[in-house]
Chain A
């Protein structure tokens, strides 16, 4: 039986701040366990939270980018449950008056645009990290993450396939990266994702919803959804019921599993956080934040296509990361030609990054370096092959390709007199090959070109060299005849 899948996503995003949401502890990733904690984030008795203004601003910025309606009055609530990584045994979160609601994000799927509604965006503090010892009956807690500022972005169940879910996540991540409110790095947990999915026959009422947690990569989200669709379809086909539950993705076994603890027994008992006052989003604050909004991926995509004639695909790739788009437009502004530039970024640069497992957001390449490189190719100063090697060297050493060209004297021989002399020397030195060429053996010319390249230390352009040789050889033939 064919089912339609109905998917919603909850994304937790770490906001880029120096200090935690309610205290002055550092948010730097990777510190030794329990080295970035204080009485406030440890929930010691008597101390009180005070909201980080930058986190508040970053939240507003994201809400504006997703075209949300900002709250008139935002408040925090306590979400209560006992867990060892939650020092107060409640999480300061937002319940019925979140930061923002009713936004959307447009995604492109199979060439068509789809609008995915965003239900709400709220702020909350992160919990600590639990480590388990498989050999002992103990778990261990590191509270460094406790109190890290998070933004939770909840979508409506508007997604209809694992591919749509992936497209949504990619676009969401692109937007957030443009906003510079988060590093969006799944590796260190600054972007996390839960999903919910139900199946139904097309046109029928919604089926029973299953939540899936523990998804720590986009790949995992897609794999878990694919798995879950198959699992639910099989049950439905067999006439079985789907249990409403929370399941965990087991990346090793590549399957979703029922949580052993009884989530169903939870009752979060939300109530207004008395230690924090309400927050109004004054027009002045809203405008100040709105003024910081950069052009977003969708806008940039249109510009790339309209102004520079790029294809939809190229525009998509180049706008996926803010850094790439900036690199592209930066180089254009300094005179680079759009198409070769786009090819160079999408080809050589991305290949370089992929090979090293680096994120485009971390690229430190300057736009003028690309301009210099493309100019040198255009002017015939360097060959395409030389350019590729040169580019890698320039990235490795973090220097301008123009400087690498100067240092290594990497110039093609463009002086015709010099090329003529090279050809004459080789013709004189390899008479056997000259004869072969004249007998019509095409390989002989390649051999002679090779010899010329050797003698020039690779600085001759092989195409040009072949032309000069042919001219000389044909002149010689005429002279003999």
Chain B
């Protein structure tokens, strides 16, 4: 049985904010299924008592002093924006 259904991919695509056509969804579901089937071999590895590794280096406690640095000039920051309104970035209306 497939691990991933087209419906699963549709749900994940919504979480990831990707618009996908039905044929893309179907193709992706099949490919994902194959990849996850392969990934499933991890289940065969015994990891009891094994700590996960999120960072390979034993680095810790890296901070910076509470010091102000110059911000970007607003014009420079805002020229990157695809749409703006004065000094504000403009987006389609947000509904709570």
Contact = CB atoms under 8 A, between A and B. Distances in A.
Q: Are A and B bound to each other?
A: yes
Contact of B92 (A38, A131, A137, A279): A137
Residue of A17, A32, A37, A280 contacting most chain B CB atoms (<10 Å): A37
Contact of A18 (B63, B68, B87): B68
A202 interface: no
Interface in A111-163: 130-133, 136-143
Contacts of A54: 65-66
A227 to B, nearest CB: 18
A261 B96 CA distance: 5
B62 A50 contact: yes
Contacts of A131: 88
Contact of B68 (A25, A272, A274): A25
A242 B34 CA distance: 43
A279 B64 CA distance: 13
A277 interface: yes
B60 interface: yes
A56 B33 CA distance: 43
Interface residues of B, number: 36
Residue of A51, A83, A138 contacting most chain B CB atoms (<10 Å): A138
Contacts of B1: none
Given A51-B62, A53-B65, A84 B94 contact: yes
B94 A139 contact: yes
Contact of A139 (B66, B69, B92): B92
Contact of B77 (A17, A34, A132, A279): A34
Nearest to A263: B96
A135 to B, nearest CB: 11
Contacts of A265: 14
Interface residues of A, number: 56
A51 B91 contact: no
A53 B66 contact: yes
A469 B14 CA distance: 92
Contacts of A412: none
Given A18-B67, A23-B69, A141 B91 contact: yes
A51 B69 contact: no
A56 B61 CA distance: 10
A269 B14 CA distance: 13
A52 B18 CA distance: 34
A260 B71 contact: no
B60 A279 contact: yes
Contacts of B95: 260-261
A35 interface: yes
Given A137-B92, A138-B92, A280 B61 contact: yes
Contacts of A33: 74, 86-88
A53 B63 contact: yes
B93 interface: yes
Contacts of A407: none
Contact of A56 (B63, B67, B89, B91): B63
A23 B60 CA distance: 18
Contact of B66 (A18, A35, A84, A248): A18
A445 B66 CA distance: 70
A38 B61 contact: no
Contact of B94 (A23, A37, A130, A280): A130
A140 B83 CA distance: 10
B9 to A, nearest CB: 15
Given A259-B96, A277-B61, A24 B68 contact: yes
11 contacts: A18-B68, A24-B64, A25-B69, A34-B77, A82-B17, A131-B88, A138-B85, A138-B91, A140-B90, A261-B96, A277-B59
- A-B interface, 4 closest residue pairs, ranked by CB to CB distance from nearest: A24-B69, A54-B66, A140-B88, A53-B63
Interface of A: 17-19, 23-26, 32-39, 42, 44, 50-56, 73, 75, 82-84, 130-133, 136-143, 248, 259-261, 265, 267, 269, 272, 274, 276-280, 282
